[in-house]
Structure formats: C-alpha cells, structure tokens
Copies of this chain bind each other. A is one copy, B any other.
C-alpha cells in the first residue's frame, strides 16, 4: 500500500481537498504510482493526514471525475490507465518570449482608432455581466441565432432608426465580430469577380479584403473635385464603398447632391450596390447629424455598416450590417449556415447595456468628453506655427493636420514613435501604390480618443522638439 506524504500547510490558501487531489494527480501523472495500484482508503488517509474523511472523499471524487482513478465499492480506489489522458503541464515560464512581448513604452497614443477608456462605466459592465452570467446560464453556452440574438438586433435596429434614420428591422441586421469580418462576409455574399470603387486615401483593411478576395479595386481621390458617381460610371464598377458621414481619414462629408446622384447610379443597374461605412457617426460636434445614405435610399441599394468599436470600445468586437432584401435573401442562401461570430455572453451584455439606457447615457457623456478634448487639441495646435491646415474636425475622433516642415512624413512619424509618441501619417491610408494629391508636406492624424489633455500636451511638446531640431 502506498503511503502519501502530503504537505497540507504549504501551497497557499488552496482548499485542503484540492491539495490532496493535486498531489495524488501529479503522482499518477508522473508515473510514481503504477496503474492498477490501490490507493489508501478514505478513512486511512484521513487519519494519516488528520483531516475529515469527506475531505479525502472530495479529493478522490475529483480524481474519479477526471479519470485518474476508479472506485470499486467495498474494495477501494484504484489507479486507472491514464495513457492518452491529456495533461497540461503547469507553465514552465518562457522568459524569452515574455521579454519579447514586454510592451514598448508608448507614452502618448494619437491612434485614430483608440477610445477613451477612463470614462467607461466599468461598474455597470460588471453588474450587467453578473446578471447575464447568473440567470439562464445554460442556454448561454448553446449556439444562438446565426445573425445575432434577436433581442440585441432589435435594440440596435431601433437605435439605428432613431439616431441615423436607417430603415431596417431586426431581421435585416447581421451581427459580426468587427467591421473587417463583416466586409469579409460581404465578399462571400456578393460572390467572386466583383469590381469595387473606393475613396483614396481610405480604409486599407477594406481595400485589402477586396483585393484578397480577388475583386478588381479602383480608387479615386477623396475630397477631390470629381463626383463619386461619375468616377463609378467611368471606372465601370458594380460596387462603391463610401463613408459619406465622415470619410476616413480625410474627415470630409459627402454633400447631399452627390449622395443622390450616387443612389441614382446604383439604382440604374440590378447588380450595383453601395457600401456605406458609418464607422464613427456617433460623434458629431457641429450642426445636426447628417442622415445616412441608407435612410434616403428608396431603391434598396445600400449596405449599411456600423460598429461599437468607437462608441464603446474596439476590443468589444461587435459590428453590424444592414442588408437590402435582395442581398439578405442571398445571404441566407449562400452564408446562412455560418454561425454568428460574436460570443453570446457579449451579445446579452450589450443588449442589456443598450436596452437599459446605459448606451445612450454613455454616448452623451462621451460626446462631451471628446468635444472637450478636441477643443483642447485645436487650441493647442493653433499655438504651433508648424500646424497648417486642419481638417475633419467637425466629427469623429481624429483630426487631420498639415505640418509645415521639410521632413518626410514617414521620418516624422518614426522619430515621434522613437520618443514615445504614436502618431500616423496620411500616407499609411493610401490604397495601393497610387499617389493622390501630388507633392505635399506631411499630414498627420491626431486621434484624440485615448490621450487625456496632459498626454496630448506632452505629445505636442515632443513634436515641437522634433520639428525644431530639424529646422536647425
């Protein structure tokens, strides 16, 4: 008979039965007890260790459930044959990999896609999360609705109608893990061999998605004189991808007459569709929000894309897409079996967050927060003589600033990064190899989502230094 010497004092505050369980499990897993061997009875071991029998029983029960031992009534517990039983060895630390991922020090982050996390109501998130996990829990594990939970789609549809004038019912909505996923899904719905027109500079992710899917992608200068629909006509495409409310990264707004012409262009042929990416329309600081393209479309030609990445957080990974009837039918035929990519727990949480009015409150709060930060940034920039023309300041979470310097844009960004300031230049958002707008000085994207005023000040100061050094 084996005699165990189990240290019940050490090992921290773990429960007694777990220490016993862990000890015996390791003995078995590492082959120090052979299979078939008999373990001491619960009584014996309990006495040896000076614990209650039930404590030993609980340990044995666990070993039993995990297949390490088998129980034979009135005879004893015996070690099983664990060949083939999985065993994850506890982390042997990997120092080199950890070091490799030791985050670089970024002091000030002007990324255009980051959001302000300080103002987020974590306590509410925690509360909702607890509620979600506490009731109806089993159902949460099962696969849910393929387009997304109906209740959530319903509140989103209501929100979209109210806030953006979007004409849709819950049935027209498809939820997905991020805009990029939905664009991927869109290529599947629309099928191979399409031609698409995009604004340049624009949204490189979408550009690459279309390229990778084998689409022919044409671009035209965003903010230029040419009207979109004429470009579409000339390029002979059947899809146009636009961001009419607040073009990324230029920040321009598409005028109403161009929108109408674009809709007319789409209506002229059955195979044509418009993809409206409405990624940051929630934040608008001047004038009234412009109704979406989808809301003024009466030919069912607009695919509407939206996201919670900016209004809540990028890590949430919940976006939505409104499909016109023709494409919804096609989606159900060719993609209907795809499971939704958003975990159900997240869906329920978001549903409650919106449904209980927290989302609206949060949006209102954040609009104020971002407006203040934007105003501060604009004020500070005005003091700099290196800051030239500023664009895109009426909406979104970033502004575009022309910099008066002889330095190259990439060089400027690199030097900033070196000193802990993450900032991106307009050239990063150029699609393909095409160059738009000719020779000009660097244009920087100042995202004010993440940094607070102090950080922004610091970042601007560092830029001051870099640009001053260069002048000398």
How many copies of this chain?
Answer: 2
Give the complex CA separation of A450 and B87 in angstroms: 25
Nearest neighbor of A85 in chain B, beta-carbon distance: B364
B67, B94, B192, B368: the one contacting A214 at CB < 8 Å is: B192
Q: Count residues of chain A with CB under 8 A from any CB of chain B.
A: 106
Digitize A50-90: 1 where CB-to-B-CB distance is under 8 Å, 0 elsewhere: 00000000000010011110000000000000011111111
Instruction: Please state if B9 and A136 are interface contacts (CB–CB under 8 Å).
Output: yes
Give the complex CA separation of A317 and B184 in angstroms: 17
A169 contacts across to B, CB distance below 8 A: 97
Instruction: Please state if B101 and A150 are interface contacts (CB–CB under 8 Å).
Output: yes
Give the complex CA separation of A317 and B340 in angstroms: 8
Give the complex CA separation of A368 and B154 in angstroms: 41
Digitize A7-34: 1 where CB-to-B-CB distance is under 8 Å, 0 elsewhere: 0010000000000000000000000000
B90, B181, B341, B359: the one contacting A88 at CB < 8 Å is: B359
A237 within 8 A of B: no
A313 contacts across to B, CB distance below 8 A: 141-142
Digitize A281-318: 1 where CB-to-B-CB distance is under 8 Å, 0 elsewhere: 01010011100000000000000000000001111111
Q: In whole Å, how far is A463's beta carbon from the nearest beta carbon of chain B?
A: 22
A253 within 8 A of B: no
B143, B177, B317, B368: the one contacting A113 at CB < 8 Å is: B143
Instruction: Please state if A141 and B120 are interface contacts (CB–CB under 8 Å).
Output: yes
List A residues at the B interface (Cβ < 8 Å).
9, 62, 65-68, 83-91, 94, 97, 101, 113-115, 117-118, 120, 122, 125-126, 129-130, 133-144, 150, 154-155, 158-159, 162-163, 169-170, 177-178, 180-181, 184-185, 187-189, 191-193, 204-205, 208-209, 211-214, 282, 284, 287-289, 312-318, 334-335, 337-346, 354-355, 357, 359-361, 363-365, 367-368, 450
A141-B315, A177-B177, A315-B343 known, 14 other contacts, Cβ within 8 Å: A65-B361, A84-B284, A84-B287, A88-B357, A89-B162, A125-B133, A141-B312, A177-B341, A177-B342, A180-B341, A188-B213, A205-B338, A213-B213, A214-B214
